[in-house]
Chains A and B, each alone.
Chain A
Amino acid sequence: MIRFEHVSKQFGTKKVLDDLSFEIEKGETFVIIGRSGMGKSVTIKHMVRLLTPDEGNVWIGDDLVSEARGSELSRIRLRFGLLFQGSALLQWLTAGDNVGLPLHQGSDMPQEEVDRLAEEKLKLVELTDVFHKHPSDLSGGMQKRVGLARAIITDPEIILYDEPTSGLDPMTSRTIDALIESLRVKLGVTSVVVTHDLHSALSIGTRIALLEQGKMVEISTPQEFIRSKHPAVRDFLDANFITKKPDWETHPS
């Protein structure tokens, strides 16, 4: 479904992606984790050609997205829904208008039908009574869910989530996780999630990849990931208290 072939990307003197190759199967939830600044968001931006690789190719099915331009790029992008880290909602539109925007601007669908579908998608992400509210009137978690409703209104094949739980409290984060999982089950979409929330990654991922120094040092199922012997994976797990007790428990003084 999504294939990276020897993709490299450099910003100034910093090599962010280094000969990166991996493949994501249709229908799976592929989670990319890693420390900040390791190139997680850069990786998903290559999938929709917000960034172009210095070397290598990015394939979406049979489409070479890294070379696409104009109408071909628009066609490929319509296969995607993207939930941005900061939701990226248009502040002057209501939540309902934000959700319906891709249909309002991209089709000849009557406004009533657009509104009905927007309402339907808002219900799917468990939001009611927000249709006429502006983003500034909504909490961070609600804004993420509105962003998610907008991402799925065109029924995309692939949904990309850029830090879907960042800045949210643990309870709201778990709600978002449950939504991502339920959308995969209900809509059968392929999901790519970028996060540094390991708990989230372990609960929603069918496969987890750890990005370190521009390379994926581990790609495995959640069960295999926890058992991995790779030092970078062990460090990441330790930092999240998955394998050892926190210092304040082992050294109470």
Chain B
Amino acid sequence: MIITREPEFLPETPNVFARLGRAVLLSCRESGRALLMTGEAFLHMRTMFSKRSRFDVMYQLYITGVKSLGVITVVALFTGMILALQTGLELRRFSQQVNIGTAVCVSLTREMGPFMTALIVAASVGSAIAAQLGTMTVSEEVSALEIMSISPVRFLVMPRLVALVVMMPLLTVYTDIIGIIGGAIVGKTQLGVSFRAYFDNAVAFAHNKDLYVGLFKAMVFGVVITAVSCHQGFCTKDGAVGVGRATRKTVIVSFLTILVLGYVITRVFYK
């Protein structure tokens, strides 16, 4: 797949319907290009352990996983605490606050865990990918790779795709655990639910399916973040302004796609 694109000059049109139609067609074309690029990156995964790729893959795993842990810890802890507090205060009216373990555990594993993790990773890692690839594109580094017959998809996209597909489920499990612990702390300190009662309740009513669906979602979100951020990076033009635009679009498009796909996956697995 040729990444370096020729400049495009579209004629101005005063017709609003023509402009709308063109915008839809361009969106379809760009989505198609992003899908093709991601498909090619999946094909290149067979080389991920080769001498030429393994260092890049390891580095991206480190950047995506280890570097995101700090912010994920804080967000997950407070998400679990908020969930426990909001639910627990309502349940306390019916003396059912012991059930917050189930509420927090199911919400986190099924929905909030993958969703919150994906938003954090899209905003931190995804935007960084778009900015880096965007800068490389405008400074002709991506063109230089193509002239050297080095596939930018294999060299730049594949390691990031591996990192996000592997790390997103792991980070989601981490988010779930920290969130559940946060809920337990609130249960103990604010609602008078002992740790034992909280965890017994959480384990008793949680289903494996919730965890598996959550992890599947996380993996899909990882693919979405890679596809959007790398594609936006490669589409960058107009120098520094363009890099800023690509970064902003990456976050917006990732968020919207994650929201929509999150609903679709839930709908498919929980009819």
Interface residues of A (CB under 8 A from B): 11-13, 48, 50-52, 74-75, 77-78, 80, 82, 84-86, 88-90, 101-102, 104-106, 108, 111, 150, 154
Measured in the bound complex, the distance between the Cα atoms of B79 and A148 in whole Å is 53
Residues of B contacting A75 in the complex (Cβ-Cβ under 8 angstroms): 149
Is there a chain A Cβ closer than 8 Å to B73's Cβ? no
Contact (A50, B9) CB under 8 Å given A101-B148, A102-B150, A106-B148: no
User: Nearest chain A CB to B261's CB is how many angstroms away?
Assistant: 32
Closest partner residue, chain B, to A45 (CB atom): B143
- Report the count of interface residues on B (CB-CB < 8 A): 18
Contact A102 B141 (CB under 8 A): no
Contact A88 B149 (CB under 8 A): no
Contact A105 B4 (CB under 8 A): no
Q: Choose one: B9, B139, B146, B150; the contact of A86 (CB below 8 Å).
A: B139
Residues of B contacting A89 in the complex (Cβ-Cβ under 8 angstroms): 141
Residues of A contacting B155 in the complex (Cβ-Cβ under 8 angstroms): 105
Measured in the bound complex, the distance between the Cα atoms of B147 and A78 in whole Å is 7
Contact B139 A48 (CB under 8 A): no
Closest partner residue, chain B, to A147 (CB atom): B144
Contact B146 A77 (CB under 8 A): yes
Interface contact tally, CB-CB below 8 A = 52
Measured in the bound complex, the distance between the Cα atoms of B151 and A106 in whole Å is 10
Residues of A contacting B139 in the complex (Cβ-Cβ under 8 angstroms): 86, 88
Measured in the bound complex, the distance between the Cα atoms of B238 and A211 in whole Å is 26
Contact A51 B6 (CB under 8 A): yes
Top 4 nearest A-B pairs (CB, nearest first) are: A12-B9, A88-B144, A74-B149, A102-B148
Contact B146 A50 (CB under 8 A): yes
Contact A77 B6 (CB under 8 A): no
Residues of A contacting B144 in the complex (Cβ-Cβ under 8 angstroms): 82, 84, 88
Is there a chain A Cβ closer than 8 Å to B90's Cβ? no
Measured in the bound complex, the distance between the Cα atoms of B51 and A182 in whole Å is 35
Is there a chain A Cβ closer than 8 Å to B140's Cβ? yes
Closest partner residue, chain B, to A88 (CB atom): B144
Within 8 A of A (CB), among B117-145: 136, 139-141, 143-144
Contact B6 A88 (CB under 8 A): no
Q: Choose one: B52, B136, B140, B147; the contact of A77 (CB below 8 Å).
A: B147
